Amino acid sequence: MPDLPQPLRVPGGRTDLAAVGVGRSAGRGEWLGLPPAHQDTWLAVAQNSWYHATRDTPTRDAVRREVGGVVHLDGAAITTNTAFYCALGEAVHGPGGHCGASLDALAECLSDGSAPPPAEIVWREFAASRASLDGIYLELILEALRESGVAVTLVDRYGVARATGRARAPRPRRDCASNRPAARRRRPGRPGA
């Protein structure tokens, strides 16, 4: 008799993570019940079920949704880098959704053409995320989103903290009179001036 697949065992009594990838629908925020050290397991299960599901044969509710609109991200739940990817996957594609597990994977998920990326992400409670995540990594996340054409609005408890526009290629400076590229100006008092 062949061995039946065993459910993935996660410390803390959770034994049903594997079921998310084989047909059981994930509940909204279900990953929040996992200890932070085991949220990477949730990402692995979500990723595996994500890539095995297609539009014609979905194995879960978090199928590739046609997003293109506004997505709301709860920053209060983002306490680690892994939690960011869990929260973003759920915000973009619903419970059990996947939207990368690293900066490179995030950029790939947003630009692979399988579904349009969200037009805008409203990142609520951004101050809580900023307090939990490394500042440089957070800026790299925002840069990856902008480079993928996603507008990001950062909201804290007092309102909009910062709205970042879609990434655009920098336009070269032009001389107004001749419409030629402007000469680079040197500041007085600096070496090479």
**CATH at residue 130:** 3.30.370.10
Strand pairing partners for 154? 123, 162
Domain assignment of residue 74, yes or no: yes
Cα separations (Å) of 190 from 137, 183, 185, 193? Answer: 33, 17, 11, 6
Predicted confidence (pLDDT) per residue in 26-63, tens digit: 678 888 888 888 888 888 888 877 666 655 555 444 44
The answer, yes or no, to whether residue 16 has pLDDT greater than 70, is no
Assigned domain for 121 exists: yes
126, part of any domain: yes
Instruction: Write out pLDDT tens, residues 71-95.
Output: 899 999 999 999 999 999 888 888 8
Whether 107 is in a domain gets the answer yes
Residues 6 or more apart whose CB falls under 8 angstroms from that of 77 comprise 29, 32, 83, 87
**pLDDT attached to residue 79:** 92
Q: pLDDT at residue 20 above 80?
A: no
Total domains present in the chain:
1
For residue 127, what are the CA distances in angstroms to 80, 83, 143, 159? 14, 15, 17, 11
Question: Per the domain annotation, does 137 fall within a domain?
Answer: yes
Full residue range of the structural domain in which residue 46 is found:
17-164
Express each pLDDT in 155-172 by its tens digit.
987 766 666 655 433 333
In a domain, residue 57? The reply is yes
Report if residue 3 sits inside a domain.
no
Whether 79 is in a domain gets the answer yes
d(CA 137, CA 132) in angstroms, rounded, equals 11
